Structure 1
């Protein structure tokens, strides 16, 4: 049996299990449409809320844990920004050398 056929059979079993659990199989097509519309709406709103609010909530929890362990306040967002800026913009790079060499060349011309 191919991989695609296995996945298809697994999805059919999950759909069947879902319809049996919530008695969707006994509904008329209009009721099924309403049920699945509401289910999709609630799932989509939950997913959007997780994406928007979970990172802030996790940083708040990390800040609280840091306070309880070390006894001092820490702004997790600022620490992450500082770390990412230091990684993205190292002190002395080849690009700085090239920029200064390019400026000197332009002055000479």
Structure 2
């Protein structure tokens, strides 16, 4: 099974290649779309009122934080999900040693119930047969 770093690298490379393919096939519409998204970004965060230095500082900090978040999520989230799934399985069913011990205990209890019930049935049948034989004689 490939590790999470190689999987995230493949995903990022495939996204970049898809974007590059779209840029090659439709350059004007893609450029227009990027210009519209940049305008929406500047209007949403009021960046059009800042100077170019302030924009650079704000965009650098935002890029750094988003990069750290994406890297942390792609590296640690798959392992964390795997650990949490194992914990959920343990909470629902226990580990193998506990299951084996519970299985042995259940087998002993079932064997005790079977032997006790067979003895009770045997005693009841023998008393019924002995009473039947005393009535018939």
Scaled by the length of structure 1, what TM-score is found? 0.57
Runs of 4+ in 1 over 6 A off after TM superposition: none
Which of 94, 98, 106 is equivalent to 1:72?
94
Which of 12, 22, 26 is equivalent to 1:3?
26
Q: CA deviation at 1:72?
A: 2.9
Q: Return the structure number with greater helix share.
A: 2
> 2:63 is matched with which residue?
40
Root-mean-square deviation (CA, aligned residues, Å) is 1.9
Q: Larger radius of gyration, structure 1 or 2? A: 2
Which of 50, 73, 81 is equivalent to 1:27?
50
The separation in 1 between residues aligned to 2:34 and 2:95, in whole angstroms, is 48
> 2:38 is matched with which residue?
15
The separation in 1 between residues aligned to 2:48 and 2:95, in whole angstroms, is 54
Q: 3-state SS of the aligned residue for 1:16?
A: helix
Q: How many residues align?
A: 72
Scaled by the length of structure 2, what TM-score is found? 0.47
Say whether the 8 Å CA contact 1:24–1:32 is kept in structure 2.
yes
Identify the structure with bigger relative contact order (alpha carbons < 8 Å, sequence gap 6+). 2
Gaps of 5+ in 2: 1-24, 97-137
TM-superposition CA deviations, 1:57-107 (whole Å, max 9, x none): 1102221333355x1348xxxxxxxxxxxxxxxxxxxxxxxxxxxxxxxxx
